[in-house]
Amino acid sequence: MGSMYKDEQGDWITVCLKYLLFVFNFLFWMGGGVVMGVGIWTLVDKGEYLSLLASSTFAVSAYILILAGGLVMVTGFLGCCAVIREQRSCLSTYFSCLLLIFLIELVAGVLAYVYYQALSEELKQHLSKTMMENYAQPGKESITQSVDRLQQDFKCCGSNNSLDWMHSVYIMSQAADSRVVPDSCCKTITPQCGRRDHPSNIYKVEGGCITKLEQFLADHLLIIGAVGIGVACLQLIGAVLTACFIYLLYKEEEEDFSHV
């Protein structure tokens, strides 16, 4: 009687764990879509600013999230199939995939956090030099477009302030045509509006574009880090549940074998 009760209790636990894992994998699959979406959003949403950064860490973190998101969606689907079929070999493969994706997302989260710490210093050292030396120069069209978009999107002028442009290669050249700032500094862009740097005409933002871009990138990095580490922690729960399910199936197989 006691043995029968124990078997029934074990079967009940296995069934509950099976359905719990199935629900987890469905949520896991949806989470993969979210992770991939965050990675794509990071690159698409003002992704042209990446050319203004000295390192590629920001872009790498986003690409890792996209890769991890795709793997999560595939793994979540395979996990559902493995749970339904109750095959230990499939579940073991699924368990290994969970650990691999966990490491990938953890790397993305850590990269985002480390880069977040160094972001301010990188922008101070690199952005000003990029704007002063590369704006409107031959072969630097992508940087020129990025700077113009940056100043218009964030309503700023210059790396620290509008006076920075006085020392730029572009403003000191004949191509500037007596401009004191690029036309993209103007609140309302009109031909050669950069000749007049009055506050009513151009953006006079305290801290310049560095402050604005730093805040924008910092917000994205926090989201990348939070999503990466958050989903990674969720996967640990899934890995524990999977390990428990594999163990229960193993015990059931042992008991069935002993009864033969």
Return averaged pLDDT per consecutive 10 residues of the chain, 260 residues in all: 44 74 78 80 74 73 78 78 74 80 75 74 80 90 90 90 91 91 92 88 84 83 75 76 76 59
Query: Domain coordinates of the chain in residue numbers?
Result: 1-118+228-259, 126-206
**Which residues, at least 6 apart from 128, have a Cβ–Cβ distance to it below 8 Å?**
159, 160, 164, 210
Contacts of residue 83, Cβ cutoff 8 Å, sequence gap at least 6 = 18, 21, 22, 25, 91, 245
What CA dihedral angle connects 179, 180, 181 and 186, to 10 degrees? Answer: -80
What does each C-alpha distance from 17 to 20, 156, 163, 167, 243 come to in angstroms?
5, 56, 65, 67, 11
Give the side-chain half-sphere CA count within 13 A for 132.
16
DSSP at 194: G
| pLDDT for the residue numbered 122 | 75
Q: Does domain 126-206 have CATH number 3.40.50?
A: no
- Please state the length of the chain: 260
pTM for the model = 0.69
The pLDDT, as a whole number, for residue 259 is 52
The pLDDT, as a whole number, for residue 46 is 63
Residue 186 bridge partners (DSSP): 202
114 to 68, 150, 191: CA distances (angstroms): 19, 24, 43
| CA distances for 147 relative to 24, 131, 151, 211, 251, angstroms | 45, 7, 6, 14, 64
Q: How far apart are CA 105 and CA 35, in angstroms?
A: 9
* Model pLDDT for residues 85-107, shown as the tens digit of each residue: 777 777 778 778 878 877 877 77
Quick check: 207 and 160 in contact, CB under 8 A?
yes
State the pLDDT at residue 230.
75
Q: How far is CA 115 from CA 25, 39, 121, 210, in A?
A: 31, 16, 10, 16
Q: How far is CA 31 from the centre of its chain?
A: 14
Q: What is the pLDDT of residue 257?
A: 53
Helix (H) / strand (E) element for 226: namely: helix 208-259
